Structure 1
Amino acid sequence: MTRAEEGHRPQVVRARRVVTMGGHTGGAADALVTLGERVIAVGAAPELLDRFPGADVVDLGRGVVVPGFNDAHAHPSVLADGGLYVDLAPTVTGSAEEVRRALAERAARTPDGAWVVGHNFDVSRTEDGGAVGRDLLDRVSARHPVLIIHYSYHGAVANSAALAAAGYDEGTPDPVGGELVRDGGRLTGVVWERAWTEGFFGHGAKPALVPVPTAEARVESLRRIVGEMNAAGITSICDAMVHPADWELYQRARDGGALTARIGMLLWYEHFDPAPRLGLGTGFGDEWLRFTGVKMMADGAVSGGTCLCSRPYNGAQGEPTGGIQVMPDEEITEVVHRVHAAGGRLAVHANGDLAIGKVLDAMEDAAARVPARPGQAHRIEHCSVVDERLVERIRRLGVIPVPFGAFVRYHGRNLVAHYGVERAARISPHRTFREAGITVAGSSDHPCGPPEPLYALQSMTTRRSLDGTVLGEDERLTPYEALEVYTAGSAAASGEEHFKGRLLPGFLADFTVLAEDPLRADPEGLAGIPVTSTWVGGRPVWEGPA
């Protein structure tokens, strides 16, 4: 039987329980029926077996089926480095000295003058992480430009040769939207926001300085990364910053059979102008690969201490700051108006309350000039620090916030260090949004946070950081509400709520099988629930050990 013929044969999937997120079946559903990539029935197994006597039967035993987890904001294409970069995650290089040694080992087998690049570095989780600066990297090598990329991708650390290659010296002023960190006038090697992205990865006609992997190597990296996300139960991913080369990457991966999750793409705003002329508007594509919207960035990182806030806080360098505004007001306004008028969906990175207010100013003005088209719901990525007035403006505009799912648990210590307990307790305010009637999506921002949705569900339901501190008890969600954020909420953020995020007739047969029922488990143990298999379009894309 061919794959096409198989797609027209019903399949009854039995389980201990099927959580539809639709409400109409209550807790009675223990089976669903798929035909091709769609669900055609949900209910009690005996009834469905009678209705579809010739169907194939899949018995998942004691497994609990939930709609496939949908990460509305992650960066798989950023992680597809083709093996060129040195992994400096704290679990790999736990101290400043181990960071130095790992880079030195790579430099020893790299031709003189070629770049040595590391990534996933987390200063707060690396022993003596603050010592990782220009001087330490100069000890790695004087014959190579050396660059370390922060896990958040909002900052980097460069040695003297890398700074010189980028054209930076002590007399260089901070670029618009970026910062060259100094100590007594001398560059420390730490560079933030546009100072590193445009300085080392290029901008406009300026070529990238760091090495770029081959397309083939990136496809293999992407296959591994998406496979790891499948293993966490993820069936859909919105890539939150896509350039033309990344669009090509996904097309190659799909053509080569390496795409095992549905992908939505947020096109970086600098590449938007040609898109409408080529017919590439929001929603272009199909159910496996589609153009979701346009990404832009208003401010810095909340966990890294560079977001733009109305009140000072303890910033990335341990000194009071208001944060970094990455795009000037006039650029924010111009891009928002242009994309909105073209009918595109905006996805604007804004963490701090001041940045969020500026973005809403531009969106409100754009909507007043050109009424939104049906389904044109804009997004604010992260939307971390808000007050009642901002929440009401978000509700009125119909904007969908995409807050961090896991940051309270994973980065809680950093949030308290930067903003204090009181302000940290209001970061990622899922309940506040939901009680205001606002649709909320689920996001890991991986690699900035852990990709596992169950880890995020534990964070959202307990608000307990890794050190045991509860940050914002009033912002806790129920397990059902948290699951809805990572399924139906994320589908709405990409304009796919009518066919994704629930297990109902006519919806995509994307589902995750868990060893325990997340709606009945202790919220403090949600992160530990095993994923036993992950299904996309009614077919398994990942299965755990038997």
Structure 2
Amino acid sequence: MSRAEGARHPLRLVRASRVITMDGASDSRGGVDAFVTLGERVIAVGDAGDLRGRFPEAETVDLGGGVVVPGFNDAHAHPSLLADGGLYMDLAPAVTRSAEDVRRALAERAARTPDGGWVVGHNFDVSRTEDGGAVDRALLDRVSARHPVLIIHYSYHGAVANSAALAAAGYDEHTPDPVGGELVRDGGRLTGVVWERAWMEGFLGHGSRPPLVPAPTTEARVGSLRRVIGEMNAAGITSICDAMVHPHDWKLYQTARDQGVLTARVGMLLWYEFFDPAPGPATGFGDEWLRFTGVKMMSDGAVSGGTCLCSRPYRGARGEPTGGIQVMPDEEITDVVHRVHAAGARLAVHANGDLAIAKVLDAMERATAATPPRPGQAHRIEHCSVVDGRLVRRIRDLGVIPVPFGAFVRYHGRNLLDHYGPERAARISPHRTFREAGITVAGSSDHPCGPPEPLYALQSLTTRRSLDGTVLGEEERLTPYEALEVYTVGSAAASGEEHVKGRIAPGYLADFTVLAEDPLRADPERLAEVPVTGTWVGGRPVWGG
């Protein structure tokens, strides 16, 4: 190898106190302590002394007492949603702790915005904001009567609008609820709260209707994306599947890659309305840094927001009996599933409630009966939160990969109990049930709907303990090794990349995370506190050392 080739394809021997390879046999024997990388790939794994003898010319990277695991892979997150170019106000509970804080922050933004310009906030969480229920049309009308004001819920399943914003969307007290959405009313008057398609299509646009909410430039978004992915790198994440991209998001990622600021591998799920089977890209199109993973569609509402479609009523977000919201009618679900499946693309269908999951499985079963699946065409159900034994068997028989929430039991446990009651809440995100049925399960934060840190998720998966101390579904607990497998091997399988990701093994990508403690030996109740000391992608450090 010449000096120039060595610079492009460095040969490194990485040594640590322990390397967890996710090779069950090796890890059960205590693991190994080193591996060798050539460029972006691992070429050898084993004992540091043996490898040093085999590769004497390799540069040594000594990680001291650090423990190496395969890079965390978030199979469902939304970094592009957070790449707002600084255009939106951050209304997260840590920033605006009360309804009055929300009003004040938006009023300050309105004072700097020309009359008629939109004032938009996001990351609002009604359940974590003091007097969050008071953030409605009336409060936003107090922000400004000269500006349309819109607050986007952290889940992106709902929003709150003032009178000017409702009028801009064409909504008034006589407007019927759109198909797949809800305009919340109190005594017949719009409260300003809008759910699902009522907000997505009313404010973000649909078909030929342009969006009302202003969009930042691509360059401004690249700066935001760099920050968001940097924060995910700091949590040990090396790969992300962006679970809803539009054409402008595709351009965002391509620009970020061209500028050399993409520090995690990204798979993209294209929103179904933009998928054209004729000239469209095939699943897997792209390379190992940026690729088309599949097609996203959404059948029901949010589990943490109390709007998922269930066969039995529950209390929901407003404390009133509800069966949830069906976002796509049955015929639309069937049509999209058949078109995408027949084109050979991977489906990734958002379905939380058991009724929504059943409808999706109905469509998938009919589609696969009509057109045999292509090799590697494993479809996904995103979230797959509420299931029973029959649904689990159908998921297994179809070879579908569920992508449940990793951290929601811990982070949203209080909401799950309030909305669904203890019996149903204990069965939400049933990772062990899936695994015991022989089903591959992937790891997902759904960030910004939940915290992005995989170690936080590992604590949730192994303890099933919510923030208030309540244990939800003790029988669904995973061992630390199983939880780690979900966020490595499982997530790689969900994007069809299990042959190059999820393990530290010869031929695999040299993507790995360095931890200050061994996650398999740490107290599960404090896994979220284990420090990430380094994140490497393609054999190069992207965070820490």
2:151 aligned with 1:130, yes or no?
no
- Alpha-carbon offset, residue 278 of structure 1: 3.3
Q: Sequence identity, in percent?
A: 84
Could you say if the C-alpha distance between residues 365 and 2 of structure 1 is closer, same or farther in structure 2, counting changes exceeding 3 Å?
farther
Counterpart AA for 2:384: C
* 1:75-125 deviation per Cα after TM superposition (whole angstroms, max 9, x unaligned): 000110000000000000000000000000000000000000000000000
CA change 1:9–1:142 in 2 (3 A) is closer
Q: Extract structure 1 runs of 4+ deviating beyond 2 A.
A: 1-9, 23-26, 276-279
Matched residue, 1:310: 311
CA deviation after TM superposition for structure 1 residue 10, in Å: 1.7
Residue matched to 1:270: 273
CA distance in 2, matches of 1:237, 1:303: 22
Confirm or deny: 8 A CA contact 1:114 1:144 kept in the other structure. Answer: yes
Q: Secondary structure at the match of 1:348?
A: strand
Indicate the residue corresponding to 1:536 in structure 2.
537
1:166 corresponding residue in structure 2:
169
- The answer (yes or no) to whether the contact 1:7–1:35 under 8 Å persists in 2 is no
The one-letter amino acid of 2:442's match is A
CA offset at residue 2 of structure 1? 7.2
What is the CA-CA distance between 1:483 and the residue it aligns to?
0.2
Give the whole-Å Cα distance in 2 for the aligned partners of 1:110 and 1:10: 54
1:416-465 superposed Cα distances (whole Å, 9 cap, x missing partner): 00000111000000000000000000000000000000000000000000
Equivalent position of 1:501 in the other structure: 502
Partners of 2:71 and 2:237 within 8 A in 1: yes
**Counterparts of 2:525 and 2:4 in 1: how far apart (Å)?**
42
Deviations 1:467-486 (CA, angstroms, capped at 9, x unpaired): 00000000000000000000
1:354-377 deviations in Å (ceiling 9; x for gaps): 000000000000000001111100
1:241 matched to which residue of 2?
Answer: 244
CA contact (8 A) 2:20 2:31 kept: no
TM-score (norm. length: structure 1): 0.98
Please say which of residues 24-33 and 286-295 is displaced more in the overlay.
Answer: 24-33
In structure 2, the residue matched to 1:68 is 71
Work out the CA distance in 2 between the residues paired with 1:422 and 1:157: 31
Pairs within 5 Å for 1:93-132: 93-132=96-135
Q: Map of 1:57-456 to 2, 5 A cutoff? A: 57-273=60-276, 276-278=277-279, 280-456=281-457
Secondary structure of the residue that 1:315 maps to in structure 2? coil
TM superposition shift of 1:3:
7.1
Label 1:49 to 1:117 Cα distance change in 2 as closer, same or farther (>3 A). same
SS of corresponding position for 2:420: helix
Question: SS of 2:61's equivalent?
Answer: strand
Structure 2 gaps, min length 5: none
State the SS of the aligned residue for 1:30: strand
Q: Which moved more, 1:528-537 or 1:309-318?
A: 309-318
Residue 315 of structure 1, CA deviation: 1.4
Retained in 1: the 8 A contact 2:74–2:487? yes
AA of the residue aligned to 1:222: L
Amino acid at match of 1:32: F
Q: What's the C-alpha RMSD, in Å, of the aligned pairs? A: 0.9
Aligned partners of 1:343 and 1:216: how far apart in 2?
34
- Structure 1, unaligned runs of 5 or more: none
Distance, in Å, in 2 between the alignment partners of 1:7 and 1:383 is 43
Q: Give the CA deviation at 1:53.
A: 0.4
CA distance in 1, matches of 2:275, 2:162: 34
Cα offset, 1:7, TM superposition = 3.8
Q: CA deviation at 1:344?
A: 0.5
Retained in 1: the 8 A contact 2:155–2:449? yes
The amino acid across from 2:136 in the alignment is: G
Question: What is the TM-score when the length of structure 2 is the normalising length?
Answer: 0.99
Contact (CA 8 Å) 2:107, 2:143: kept in 1 or not?
A: yes
What amino acid does structure 1 have at the position aligned with 2:347?
L
CA positional deviation for 1:4: 4.8
Matched residue count = 542
